[in-house]
Chain A
Amino acid sequence: GQQLNQSPQSMFIQEGEDVSMNCTSSSIFNTWLWYKQDPGEGPVLLIALYKAGELTSNGRLTAQFGITRKDSFLNISASIPSDVGIYFCAGRATGANSKLTFGKGITLSVRP
């Protein structure tokens, strides 16, 4: 089946630093989504991407839909303590009944 790869499993950064995460797939996707999950909560959608090459921002977050349609990147600028959480990428392949496939997530820790 389709798989999304996110690595590393954990990232540790200093408050104020920028951080970049990527997500890769062996299959072509036509939708990429980035979610954040806080402890004890469900994932919350951060950014949705629908077109190859698309670059979209949401505050300090910027995400890009890779040209090859097999990858996506999420950048967080000027990190703050509340950025702590698990960041999941999700993708949907072409096809009317295609399901979302999720990566295993990256746990981000921000040191004050």
Chain B
Amino acid sequence: GAGVSQSPSNKVTEKGKDVELRCDPISGHTALYWYRQSLGQGLEFLIYFQGNSAPDKSGLPSDRFSAERTGGSVSTLTIQRTQQEDSAVYLCASSRLAGGPRETQYFGPGTRLLVL
């Protein structure tokens, strides 16, 4: 597609439930990033993929968070047993190649997650 897309755009869930957030990167982009943005905060790095592998998962807050990418394209971020502090905007970005000298990340519109 023309840009990065994410779904759902909004998600309200109950504490303890699992949620899946989806990201469709720009076609041809091999790198994909997940960030979390809490109210009034900057972007917190979660994980990135180069192709289907995740060289850096260091930002995942706990083992309740996981992500996968298949076919070098779509990625899913899964949060298990959601907690209220998981409420945030989850942003996905893609780029042609991670770590390239002039890498530019293009962001999707985000998924707004609210855990009640």
Chain A residues proximal to chain B, CB less than 8 Å: 4, 9, 31, 33, 35, 40-45, 48, 50, 88, 90, 92, 96-105
**Is B56 a contact of A99 with CB atoms below 8 Å?**
yes
B89's nearest neighbour on chain A, judged by CB, is: A42
Residues of B within 8 A of A97 (CB): 55-56, 98-99
Residues of B within 8 A of A96 (CB): 99
CA distance A100 to B93 in the complex (A): 11
Q: Count of B residues near A, CB < 8 Å? A: 24
The yes or no answer to B12 lying at the interface (CB within 8 A) is: no
Residues of A within 8 A of B110 (CB): 41-42
**Is B48 a contact of A99 with CB atoms below 8 Å?**
yes
The yes or no answer to B42 lying at the interface (CB within 8 A) is: yes
Number of A-B contacts (CB under 8 A): 51
**Is A100 a contact of B55 with CB atoms below 8 Å?**
no
**Is A50 a contact of B102 with CB atoms below 8 Å?**
yes
Smallest beta-carbon distance B67→chain A, Å: 15
**Is B105 a contact of A100 with CB atoms below 8 Å?**
yes
**Is A43 a contact of B99 with CB atoms below 8 Å?**
no
A96's nearest neighbour on chain B, judged by CB, is: B99
Which residues 1-47 of B have a CB within 8 angstroms of A?
4, 35, 40-43, 45
CA distance A85 to B110 in the complex (A): 16
**Is A99 a contact of B40 with CB atoms below 8 Å?**
no
CA distance A9 to B39 in the complex (A): 12
Smallest beta-carbon distance A20→chain B, Å: 20
